[in-house]
Amino acid sequence: MEKTLKRPVLLAGVLIALIALPTVADTTGYAALTSLATRVLIYGIAAASLNFVLGYGGMVSFGHAAFFGIGGYVVGILYQHYSLGEPLFGFIPGTNQLLITIPVALVVSGLMAALIGALSLRTGGVQFIMITLAFAQMLFFLFVSLKTYGGDDGLIIRRANELPGLNMRDKQTVYYVCLAITVAFFFILWRIVNSRFGNVIVGLRQSEKRMAAIGLPAYRYKLMAFVISGMGCGLAGALMANFLRYASPDMIHWTKSGELMVMVILGGVGTLFGPLLGAAVFIVLESILASWTENWQLGLGLILLFVVLYTQGGVQGLGSRLLGRRA
Protein backbone atom coordinates (compact mmCIF):
# COMPACT_ATOMS: atom_id res chain seq x y z
CA MET A 1 0.00 0.00 0.00
CA GLU A 2 2.85 2.36 0.88
CA LYS A 3 4.57 1.74 -2.47
CA THR A 4 1.40 2.49 -4.43
CA LEU A 5 1.06 5.78 -2.57
CA LYS A 6 4.72 6.74 -2.79
CA ARG A 7 4.96 6.66 -6.59
CA PRO A 8 2.12 9.13 -7.35
CA VAL A 9 3.38 11.45 -4.61
CA LEU A 10 6.93 11.28 -5.99
CA LEU A 11 5.74 11.91 -9.56
CA ALA A 12 3.62 14.85 -8.42
CA GLY A 13 6.61 16.30 -6.58
CA VAL A 14 8.84 15.96 -9.63
CA LEU A 15 6.20 17.58 -11.85
CA ILE A 16 5.80 20.51 -9.46
CA ALA A 17 9.59 20.95 -9.40
CA LEU A 18 9.71 20.93 -13.21
CA ILE A 19 6.93 23.51 -13.40
CA ALA A 20 8.74 25.77 -10.95
CA LEU A 21 12.17 25.28 -12.53
CA PRO A 22 12.19 28.30 -14.92
CA THR A 23 11.11 30.68 -12.15
CA VAL A 24 13.71 29.30 -9.75
CA ALA A 25 16.39 29.41 -12.47
CA ASP A 26 15.68 33.08 -13.23
CA THR A 27 15.53 34.00 -9.55
CA THR A 28 18.86 32.36 -8.77
CA GLY A 29 20.57 33.75 -11.87
CA TYR A 30 20.91 30.40 -13.65
CA ALA A 31 18.62 31.06 -16.61
CA ALA A 32 20.58 28.55 -18.71
CA LEU A 33 19.08 25.77 -16.60
CA THR A 34 15.79 26.22 -18.47
CA SER A 35 17.43 25.46 -21.80
CA LEU A 36 19.30 22.54 -20.24
CA ALA A 37 16.05 21.13 -18.86
CA THR A 38 14.36 21.54 -22.25
CA ARG A 39 17.06 19.40 -23.84
CA VAL A 40 16.60 16.80 -21.11
CA LEU A 41 12.85 16.59 -21.77
CA ILE A 42 13.32 16.24 -25.53
CA TYR A 43 16.05 13.63 -25.29
CA GLY A 44 14.01 11.87 -22.61
CA ILE A 45 11.22 11.37 -25.16
CA ALA A 46 13.68 10.01 -27.74
CA ALA A 47 15.42 7.70 -25.25
CA ALA A 48 12.11 6.39 -23.89
CA SER A 49 10.99 5.67 -27.46
CA LEU A 50 14.14 3.64 -28.08
CA ASN A 51 13.71 1.92 -24.73
CA PHE A 52 10.24 0.73 -25.79
CA VAL A 53 11.74 -1.56 -28.43
CA LEU A 54 15.08 -2.10 -26.67
CA GLY A 55 14.06 -2.60 -23.05
CA TYR A 56 10.54 -3.95 -23.43
CA GLY A 57 10.78 -5.62 -26.84
CA GLY A 58 14.38 -6.81 -26.83
CA MET A 59 15.06 -5.23 -30.26
CA VAL A 60 18.49 -3.60 -30.19
CA SER A 61 18.15 -0.84 -32.78
CA PHE A 62 21.20 1.21 -33.66
CA GLY A 63 19.36 3.39 -36.15
CA HIS A 64 16.80 5.33 -34.15
CA ALA A 65 18.65 8.57 -34.84
CA ALA A 66 17.16 8.26 -38.34
CA PHE A 67 13.66 8.93 -36.99
CA PHE A 68 14.97 11.65 -34.68
CA GLY A 69 16.56 13.43 -37.64
CA ILE A 70 13.54 12.93 -39.89
CA GLY A 71 11.35 14.67 -37.32
CA GLY A 72 13.76 17.60 -37.25
CA TYR A 73 14.01 17.83 -41.02
CA VAL A 74 10.24 17.75 -41.44
CA VAL A 75 10.04 20.93 -39.38
CA GLY A 76 12.98 22.51 -41.21
CA ILE A 77 11.84 21.63 -44.73
CA LEU A 78 8.25 22.75 -44.14
CA TYR A 79 9.53 26.03 -42.68
CA GLN A 80 11.88 26.65 -45.61
CA HIS A 81 9.09 26.15 -48.16
CA TYR A 82 6.82 28.38 -46.05
CA SER A 83 9.40 31.17 -45.95
CA LEU A 84 10.15 30.89 -49.69
CA GLY A 85 6.47 30.60 -50.62
CA GLU A 86 7.22 27.51 -52.75
CA PRO A 87 5.15 24.32 -52.27
CA LEU A 88 7.05 21.11 -51.56
CA PHE A 89 6.93 18.84 -54.65
CA GLY A 90 4.87 21.56 -56.27
CA PHE A 91 1.67 20.89 -54.31
CA ILE A 92 2.45 20.55 -50.55
CA PRO A 93 2.39 24.01 -48.92
CA GLY A 94 5.00 24.88 -46.32
CA THR A 95 3.96 25.86 -42.81
CA ASN A 96 5.28 27.32 -39.58
CA GLN A 97 2.43 26.05 -37.38
CA LEU A 98 3.42 23.64 -34.62
CA LEU A 99 -0.01 21.98 -34.64
CA ILE A 100 0.69 20.96 -38.26
CA THR A 101 4.41 20.22 -38.25
CA ILE A 102 4.28 17.90 -35.20
CA PRO A 103 1.59 15.57 -36.67
CA VAL A 104 3.37 15.57 -40.04
CA ALA A 105 6.66 14.66 -38.31
CA LEU A 106 4.87 11.82 -36.50
CA VAL A 107 3.37 10.49 -39.73
CA VAL A 108 6.57 10.73 -41.80
CA SER A 109 8.77 9.16 -39.09
CA GLY A 110 6.14 6.46 -38.55
CA LEU A 111 6.08 5.62 -42.27
CA MET A 112 9.87 5.47 -42.38
CA ALA A 113 9.88 3.25 -39.29
CA ALA A 114 7.35 0.97 -40.95
CA LEU A 115 9.56 0.68 -44.04
CA ILE A 116 12.79 0.07 -42.11
CA GLY A 117 11.09 -2.22 -39.61
CA ALA A 118 9.37 -4.29 -42.31
CA LEU A 119 12.77 -5.19 -43.72
CA SER A 120 14.98 -5.31 -40.63
CA LEU A 121 12.59 -7.29 -38.41
CA ARG A 122 12.88 -10.27 -40.75
CA THR A 123 16.28 -10.74 -39.16
CA GLY A 124 17.45 -10.75 -35.55
CA GLY A 125 20.48 -10.35 -33.34
CA VAL A 126 23.56 -8.76 -34.85
CA GLN A 127 21.97 -8.70 -38.31
CA PHE A 128 19.10 -6.57 -37.00
CA ILE A 129 21.54 -4.15 -35.37
CA MET A 130 23.59 -3.78 -38.54
CA ILE A 131 20.57 -3.33 -40.83
CA THR A 132 19.06 -0.57 -38.68
CA LEU A 133 22.49 1.09 -38.54
CA ALA A 134 22.85 0.81 -42.32
CA PHE A 135 19.46 2.43 -42.96
CA ALA A 136 20.29 5.31 -40.62
CA GLN A 137 23.61 5.91 -42.37
CA MET A 138 21.93 5.81 -45.77
CA LEU A 139 19.58 8.56 -44.64
CA PHE A 140 22.50 10.48 -43.15
CA PHE A 141 24.35 10.56 -46.49
CA LEU A 142 21.09 11.34 -48.30
CA PHE A 143 20.56 14.52 -46.29
CA VAL A 144 24.25 15.43 -46.60
CA SER A 145 23.82 15.32 -50.37
CA LEU A 146 20.67 17.50 -50.39
CA LYS A 147 22.26 20.90 -51.02
CA THR A 148 18.79 22.45 -51.36
CA TYR A 149 18.31 21.86 -47.65
CA GLY A 150 21.77 22.92 -46.52
CA GLY A 151 23.65 19.70 -47.17
CA ASP A 152 26.34 19.06 -44.57
CA ASP A 153 25.79 22.52 -43.03
CA GLY A 154 22.21 21.74 -42.08
CA LEU A 155 19.04 23.76 -42.30
CA ILE A 156 18.49 26.98 -40.34
CA ILE A 157 14.98 27.61 -38.97
CA ARG A 158 14.88 31.35 -38.38
CA ARG A 159 11.85 31.23 -36.10
CA ALA A 160 10.36 28.43 -34.03
CA ASN A 161 6.98 27.13 -35.17
CA GLU A 162 4.06 29.19 -33.97
CA LEU A 163 1.45 28.00 -31.51
CA PRO A 164 -1.76 30.07 -31.23
CA GLY A 165 -1.78 32.28 -28.14
CA LEU A 166 1.84 31.58 -27.17
CA ASN A 167 5.12 33.38 -27.78
CA MET A 168 7.35 30.57 -29.07
CA ARG A 169 10.33 32.93 -29.25
CA ASP A 170 10.49 32.84 -25.45
CA LYS A 171 12.64 30.00 -24.10
CA GLN A 172 10.39 29.54 -21.07
CA THR A 173 7.35 29.12 -23.29
CA VAL A 174 9.16 26.52 -25.38
CA TYR A 175 10.14 24.75 -22.14
CA TYR A 176 6.54 24.58 -20.91
CA VAL A 177 5.32 23.36 -24.31
CA CYS A 178 7.95 20.61 -24.25
CA LEU A 179 7.04 19.77 -20.65
CA ALA A 180 3.34 19.42 -21.53
CA ILE A 181 4.16 17.20 -24.52
CA THR A 182 6.55 15.12 -22.38
CA VAL A 183 3.88 14.54 -19.72
CA ALA A 184 1.36 13.53 -22.40
CA PHE A 185 3.94 11.28 -24.10
CA PHE A 186 4.85 9.39 -20.92
CA PHE A 187 1.19 8.98 -19.98
CA ILE A 188 0.49 7.40 -23.39
CA LEU A 189 3.64 5.27 -23.12
CA TRP A 190 2.58 4.11 -19.65
CA ARG A 191 -0.81 3.09 -21.02
CA ILE A 192 0.80 1.19 -23.90
CA VAL A 193 3.33 -0.60 -21.69
CA ASN A 194 0.62 -1.72 -19.27
CA SER A 195 -1.84 -2.75 -21.99
CA ARG A 196 -2.27 -6.19 -23.52
CA PHE A 197 -0.18 -5.03 -26.44
CA GLY A 198 2.64 -4.08 -24.06
CA ASN A 199 2.41 -7.48 -22.36
CA VAL A 200 2.74 -9.18 -25.73
CA ILE A 201 5.84 -7.12 -26.56
CA VAL A 202 7.44 -8.13 -23.24
CA GLY A 203 6.45 -11.76 -23.91
CA LEU A 204 8.12 -11.62 -27.32
CA ARG A 205 11.32 -10.41 -25.68
CA GLN A 206 11.26 -13.33 -23.25
CA SER A 207 10.39 -16.03 -25.81
CA GLU A 208 9.23 -15.31 -29.32
CA LYS A 209 8.72 -19.02 -30.06
CA ARG A 210 6.29 -19.46 -27.16
CA MET A 211 4.26 -16.44 -28.20
CA ALA A 212 4.11 -17.73 -31.76
CA ALA A 213 3.08 -21.15 -30.45
CA ILE A 214 -0.06 -19.71 -28.84
CA GLY A 215 -1.03 -18.09 -32.13
CA LEU A 216 0.26 -14.52 -31.79
CA PRO A 217 1.73 -12.97 -34.97
CA ALA A 218 5.13 -11.98 -33.59
CA TYR A 219 6.25 -10.08 -36.69
CA ARG A 220 3.20 -7.82 -36.77
CA TYR A 221 3.42 -6.99 -33.06
CA LYS A 222 7.12 -6.20 -33.29
CA LEU A 223 6.58 -4.07 -36.38
CA MET A 224 3.84 -2.07 -34.64
CA ALA A 225 6.12 -1.54 -31.63
CA PHE A 226 8.92 -0.42 -33.94
CA VAL A 227 6.61 2.08 -35.66
CA ILE A 228 5.41 3.51 -32.32
CA SER A 229 9.02 3.84 -31.20
CA GLY A 230 9.99 5.57 -34.44
CA MET A 231 7.12 8.03 -34.11
CA GLY A 232 8.26 8.90 -30.60
CA CYS A 233 11.76 9.67 -31.85
CA GLY A 234 10.26 11.72 -34.68
CA LEU A 235 8.31 13.75 -32.13
CA ALA A 236 11.51 14.41 -30.17
CA GLY A 237 13.33 15.44 -33.35
CA ALA A 238 10.59 17.91 -34.28
CA LEU A 239 10.75 19.47 -30.81
CA MET A 240 14.55 19.65 -30.94
CA ALA A 241 14.45 21.41 -34.33
CA ASN A 242 12.07 23.99 -32.87
CA PHE A 243 14.21 24.42 -29.78
CA LEU A 244 17.53 24.78 -31.62
CA ARG A 245 15.93 26.39 -34.70
CA TYR A 246 18.23 24.16 -36.68
CA ALA A 247 18.22 20.71 -38.28
CA SER A 248 21.36 18.97 -39.50
CA PRO A 249 22.57 15.55 -40.67
CA ASP A 250 24.26 15.16 -37.27
CA MET A 251 20.81 14.41 -35.88
CA ILE A 252 20.78 11.26 -38.04
CA HIS A 253 24.38 10.14 -37.56
CA TRP A 254 25.02 6.80 -35.85
CA THR A 255 26.68 8.59 -32.93
CA LYS A 256 23.28 10.09 -32.05
CA SER A 257 21.83 6.58 -31.90
CA GLY A 258 24.71 5.68 -29.58
CA GLU A 259 23.93 8.63 -27.34
CA LEU A 260 20.28 7.58 -27.07
CA MET A 261 21.37 4.06 -26.17
CA VAL A 262 23.73 5.39 -23.50
CA MET A 263 20.85 7.40 -22.01
CA VAL A 264 18.71 4.26 -21.84
CA ILE A 265 21.50 2.27 -20.17
CA LEU A 266 22.31 5.06 -17.71
CA GLY A 267 18.68 5.45 -16.67
CA GLY A 268 17.67 1.81 -16.66
CA VAL A 269 16.78 -0.54 -19.52
CA GLY A 270 13.16 -1.69 -19.49
CA THR A 271 11.95 1.01 -17.09
CA LEU A 272 9.38 3.70 -17.82
CA PHE A 273 11.09 6.81 -16.48
CA GLY A 274 14.65 5.47 -16.52
CA PRO A 275 15.44 6.89 -19.99
CA LEU A 276 14.33 10.36 -18.85
CA LEU A 277 16.65 10.11 -15.84
CA GLY A 278 19.37 8.79 -18.13
CA ALA A 279 18.93 11.76 -20.44
CA ALA A 280 19.25 14.12 -17.48
CA VAL A 281 22.39 12.39 -16.20
CA PHE A 282 23.94 12.27 -19.69
CA ILE A 283 23.34 15.95 -20.49
CA VAL A 284 24.45 17.16 -17.05
CA LEU A 285 27.60 15.03 -17.18
CA GLU A 286 28.30 16.21 -20.73
CA SER A 287 28.01 19.84 -19.62
CA ILE A 288 30.21 19.38 -16.56
CA LEU A 289 32.87 17.14 -18.11
CA ALA A 290 33.07 19.24 -21.31
CA SER A 291 33.88 22.29 -19.16
CA TRP A 292 36.83 20.39 -17.67
CA THR A 293 38.29 18.69 -20.73
CA GLU A 294 37.66 18.28 -24.44
CA ASN A 295 38.03 14.50 -23.96
CA TRP A 296 34.86 14.35 -21.87
CA GLN A 297 33.75 11.11 -23.56
CA LEU A 298 36.46 9.23 -21.66
CA GLY A 299 35.04 10.27 -18.31
CA LEU A 300 31.52 9.50 -19.45
CA GLY A 301 32.66 6.05 -20.60
CA LEU A 302 34.10 5.27 -17.16
CA ILE A 303 30.87 6.38 -15.47
CA LEU A 304 28.83 4.27 -17.90
CA LEU A 305 31.03 1.27 -17.15
CA PHE A 306 30.41 1.75 -13.42
CA VAL A 307 26.64 2.01 -13.99
CA VAL A 308 26.54 -1.18 -16.05
CA LEU A 309 28.66 -3.20 -13.62
CA TYR A 310 27.41 -2.03 -10.23
CA THR A 311 24.02 -0.30 -10.28
CA GLN A 312 21.95 -3.30 -11.51
CA GLY A 313 19.26 -1.36 -13.31
CA GLY A 314 20.74 2.05 -13.97
CA VAL A 315 20.01 5.24 -12.08
CA GLN A 316 16.35 4.37 -11.57
CA GLY A 317 17.21 0.92 -10.18
CA LEU A 318 19.84 2.39 -7.87
CA GLY A 319 17.45 5.08 -6.66
CA SER A 320 14.68 2.54 -6.02
CA ARG A 321 16.99 0.36 -3.92
CA LEU A 322 18.29 3.32 -1.90
CA LEU A 323 14.74 4.54 -1.19
CA GLY A 324 13.68 1.01 -0.31
CA ARG A 325 16.51 0.64 2.20
CA ARG A 326 15.69 3.94 3.87
CA ALA A 327 12.05 2.91 4.13
The sign of the CA dihedral 172, 177, 179, 182 is negative
The separation between the first and the last C-alpha atoms of the chain, rounded to the nearest angstrom, is 13
pTM of the complete model: 0.93
Give the tens place of pLDDT for each residue, 170-222.
899 999 999 999 999 999 999 999 999 999 999 998 888 888 888 889 999 99
CA pair distance 238, 104, nearest whole angstrom: 10
Give the tens place of pLDDT for each residue, 148-168.
898 899 899 999 999 998 998
Q: Between the CA of residue 136 and those of 97, 133, 256, what are the distances in Å? A: 28, 5, 10
CA pair distance 159, 70, nearest whole angstrom: 19
Cβ-Cβ contacts under 8 Å for 80 (sequence gap 6 or more): 94, 149, 155
Q: Which residue ranges make up each domain of the chain?
A: 1-30, 42-322
pLDDT per residue rounded down to tens, the chain (327 residues): 444 446 778 888 889 999 999 999 888 888 889 999 999 999 999 999 999 999 999 999 999 999 999 999 999 999 999 998 888 888 889 899 999 999 999 999 999 999 999 999 998 888 999 999 999 999 999 999 999 898 899 899 999 999 998 998 889 999 999 999 999 999 999 999 999 999 999 999 888 888 888 888 999 999 999 999 999 999 999 999 999 999 999 999 999 999 999 999 988 888 889 999 999 999 998 888 888 878 778 888 888 888 777 777 777 777 776 666 544
